[in-house]
Chain A
């Protein structure tokens, strides 16, 4: 029984009081100053959706270019920019911000029974910096100097000598800028999970989605600085005259690759882990059964990212690594199979043991499991070093990682959009068109990516803007391009369904799925304060614990644990979830957006090589920070 409706008139008054206290500045301006995790999550959602569109258009342009041999739809240089932008956009500006920024922001505090993140203003800052970095990257497109050396941007191709424009400078600075946003989000999530859970929610009572977010955040926190260091070196090499990657002066081109992949491989698992998290929420909801092997799945989610830090050099087998290194890395790579398989079996077992109802979200998860196994099987092949050396830089690799990154990482995002749509909007989506959109997407994705395995084994190299006739590659490319457009149609059907449902959908009520976790106990959409009473939690499937929910209603009626004396939230000890303090939360603030704006100006000055002006702009950042901290919680 949800606590969306007040049990008595005193409770109604308390809820009104809370609503008043947590009310933010109304109107458009309110979106700029908001610190509400739900509104920030929505801002992330819309922004990443736009960037996803940009990345999709880039992909379709490439597929159209590859439709026929000797095609000249785009120039070779434009093609270079397209695949670089496609990679950078989809990884840094779509999947990471969509899973952590949008889904994580909106859902994490709800699932742990909190009223907001541990650092609400920092949360807003992270969004505005992310938006700034997106604007920064796409400014390079407008100016015609988009990054053009691939998303992994190998030197010496990316050095000043071979790429003299500002393309790579934009790449370096955009990724540093974007990295700040992701680091803030990661720090935020970890501290929120450690400190802001509902009192009594010890670690073993935390939903699996939160474990996945913890794993992703931990990965981001430890992996991103490596990319930052690498891009700082490259920027300095190009513009200050250092020699980190310059072999003629004692530098090393390997250094770039090592640092990049030490970041890059954990990053790949950071992309997929939130998808695991979404799957572990949708599966119990539509099977009405707790996930099998809960502790193993929780550990497996963390272990995937942890092992991910030891496998980077499997991207570098073709560079002539010492055999001992290659074998070590191959063994570590093979180890990833263990936590991945634990999860696959747990998901399948849960579906078999429960009463699986294949509504649209669960269909997407079933599709995800299929593609994850497909991509996993081609992934295992790369453990065989000689095989890897044969297919490296061919379309086989493209097929493998699109099965993982699109099939496995993005399908749960689509499933999650359907699953949480009623919670976010209060409306139900249309079921039958939803299922059709799944089948179109599932067939489209496989038609798009499966032939790439074959054409890769036939020897078609990646990143070639065109190919000669008579190689036997054309028919596969035609099929792939058709699959590409089919996938785009599926995505448009999905978005169309959700947009139409927003206006015409039936009322969803607080809990249309009888979902397992706390967010289904509050109204749809949730009020600004999330929960009228700090919920009691005695398992990871809190919404199914009827006694606890009845207890919440009694407490609301009696006014216990409502925290109505101030703009407050409970804080706990990290492991046991002992109630440790009641902290006063900050209100909405204009400083995060101003700080992000001055940082954007700093980065624009850096890319123009106006370092003095950048220094002056940096003073703007310091002023914003002082303004930010001029008012303490008890003074506002």
Chain B
């Protein structure tokens, strides 16, 4: 029975995954698995769906731009260029930290995983706090309802910041889970959320580039 071959593989070689707890068991499972788990596929679906949503937002921005001879309209100020790009560069480092956290959890290094996640959350929260502050500052001088340019400008930024916030909540949840050690379920979650953060980083670059492009009058 133990050497029965099903679906091209000996049953004895097939890991029982989500039930595995304890660091050695988890590392063994991840080594024996040949493809990504359902959790990874799930987050890829989320990324696909969100990617189309932002493609629609960014597409709208340029659609309106190319319909309008003066963009942004002359009475609107140009967006700042350097600081937003610097901020995205800072946020991008957290993507690397997440990748390292995923590597650490694969190797069963719990303390390193937690530490990397904490540092990532600090970077991400710092970015988020600055952006929210900047967003409300901009709203004071340039109301969202002035014209189509301001509308798409704020919707793009607002939607992007919301995704950063969701990512921070994900990471806090991860830290809460990892307080009780490593399981395959949690390792899968670290992988999935790492991918989510890579997506958010790319998204933030795309959104920032779009918003900043309005400086080219």
Contacts and interface: CB of A to CB of B under 8 A. Distances in A.
Given A221-B48, A244-B152, A580-B34, A632 B18 contact: yes
Given A249-B147, A252-B67, A222 B52 contact: yes
Interface string B23-49: 000000100011101100110011011
A258 B67 CA distance: 14
Contacts of B18: 583-584, 632-634
A195 B8 contact: no
Contact of A582 (B17, B53, B60, B152): B17
Nearest to A559: B1
Given A233-B60, A634-B19, A250 B45 contact: no
Interface stretch (A2-10, A466-474, A569-577): A569-577
Interface in A429-468: none
B110 to A, nearest CB: 16
Contacts of B151: 233, 236-237, 242-244, 251
A626 B8 CA distance: 38
B133 interface: no
Interface stretch (A16-24, A314-322, A373-381, A560-568): A560-568
Nearest to B2: A560
Given A195-B38, A222-B48, A582-B17, A250 B145 contact: no
A583 B60 CA distance: 42
Contact of B60 (A225, A237, A244): A244
A259 B49 CA distance: 15
Contacts of A226: 52, 56
A577 B7 contact: yes
Contacts of A561: 4, 6, 11
Contact of B8 (A221, A228, A237, A578): A578
A609 to B, nearest CB: 15
B56 to A, nearest CB: 4
A534 B183 CA distance: 26
A250 B63 contact: no
A252 B63 contact: yes
A558 B56 CA distance: 55
A581 interface: yes
Candidate in B11, B29, B45, B152 with the most chain A CB atoms within 10 angstroms: B45
Contacts of B173: 626, 629
Contacts of A499: none
B42 A191 contact: yes
Contacts of A241: 144-145
Interface string A156-199: 00000000000000000000000000010011001100111011
Contacts of A246: 148
B148 A243 contact: yes
Contacts, number: 186
Contacts of B1: 558-560
Given A191-B38, A571-B38, A579 B7 contact: yes
Interface in B120-158: 144-152, 154-155
Interface of A is mostly: mixed
A580 B33 contact: yes
A259 B8 CA distance: 45
A230 interface: yes
B16 interface: yes
Nearest to B57: A229
Given A222-B48, A560-B4, A622-B169, A584 B64 contact: no
B79 interface: no
A240 B144 contact: yes
Contacts of B29: 581
Candidate in B7, B9, B29 with the most chain A CB atoms within 10 angstroms: B7
Candidate in A122, A255, A558, A559 with the most chain B CB atoms within 10 angstroms: A255
Contacts of A259: 56, 60
A208 interface: no
Nearest to A573: B35
B111 interface: no
A436 B105 CA distance: 64
Interface in A210-254: 221-226, 228-230, 232-233, 236-237, 240-244, 246, 249-252
Candidate in B1, B46, B56, B146 with the most chain A CB atoms within 10 angstroms: B56
B17 A232 contact: no
A572 B155 contact: no
Given A236-B151, A242-B144, A250-B68, A580 B48 contact: no
A576 B49 contact: no
Nearest to A252: B67
Given A244-B151, A252-B148, A560-B1, 5 more contacts: A574-B41, A577-B8, A584-B19, A622-B169, A633-B18
A76 B110 CA distance: 67
Contacts of B55: 225
A200 interface: yes
A178 to B, nearest CB: 14
A632 B29 CA distance: 17
A627 to B, nearest CB: 12
A326 interface: no
Candidate in B50, B145, B173, B183 with the most chain A CB atoms within 10 angstroms: B145
A118 interface: yes
A119 interface: yes
Contacts of B49: 183, 187, 221-222, 224-225
A255 B151 CA distance: 14
A582 B14 contact: yes
Candidate in B49, B149, B150 with the most chain A CB atoms within 10 angstroms: B49
B15 interface: yes
A222 B50 CA distance: 9
Contacts of A230: 56
Contacts of A571: 17, 37-38
A632 B60 contact: no
Interface string B166-201: 000100010001000001011000000000000000
Contact of B56 (A119, A229, A572): A229
Contacts of A565: 16
Nearest to B143: A241
A225 B56 contact: yes
